[in-house]
Amino acid sequence: MNREETDGDSSSGLQSRLLSTLLNEMDGISSDNNKSDVLIVATTNRIGAIDAALLRPGRFEEHILLDKPTESDIYAILCLCLAKVPLEEGLDLNEFAELLEELGATGADTKGICSEACIHAINEAGDETDTNSIVLKASNIEYAVRSWSR
């Protein structure tokens, strides 16, 4: 057996032991006569990789699918993330919301793009600029979108 096989076996064994422990704990919680209020929340972007034992009734019974945000959702995220940021006059966030929806951006992607755009605006302004005079421009968001979509 080579090292890769050993690492794969030990990784698989660890995953199996972790799954077994999690299932035992979940079963112990659900069969507790005291019925303590315990809520277990889990998230994944790979539902197909979840072991079927976890999806069995009595375990994770509620499954909520959060699709990618719509254009209006993305616009709301942009407004929320940039609420305290001075924007260039005439900057149309609707235009960027439409573009990000077309590119398949998630809410996290949108937030990251906002952060990257703000950092780009600060860097572009330079060290000598008064921080109160920095405004976020369309070019800063375009830069962040290009960086993200690579």
DSSP collapsed to 3 states, the chain: CCHHHHHHHHHHHHHHHHHHHHHHHHHHHHCCCCCCCCCCCCCCCCHHHCCHHHHCCCCCCCCCCCCCCCHHHHHHHHHHHCCCCCECCCCCHHHHHHHHHHHCCCHHHHHHHHHHHHHHHHHHHCCCCCHHHCCECHHHHHHHHHHHCC
Q: What is the pLDDT of residue 26?
A: 76
Whole-model pTM: value is 0.66
Question: d(Cα 101, Cα 43) in Å, to the nearest integer?
Answer: 22
- pLDDT (0 to 100) of residue 136: 96
Whether the Cβ atoms of residue 77 and residue 111 lie closer than 8 Å to each other: yes
Which residue's entry shows tokens 């998630």?
Answer: 106
Question: What share of the chain in percent tops pLDDT 90?
Answer: 47
Token pair of 142 as six digits: 């375009």
Give 71-106 pLDDT, tens digit per residue: 999 999 999 999 999 999 999 999 999 999 999 999
Which residue, among 113, 117, 110, has the nearest Cα to 86 in the 3D structure? 117
> Token digits for 28?
């112990």
Segment 116-140 mean pLDDT: 89
- Residue 32 above 70 pLDDT? no
What are the chain's domains? 3-55 (no CATH), 71-148 (1.10.8.60)
Rounded Cα–Cα distance for residues 90 and 130 (Å) = 22
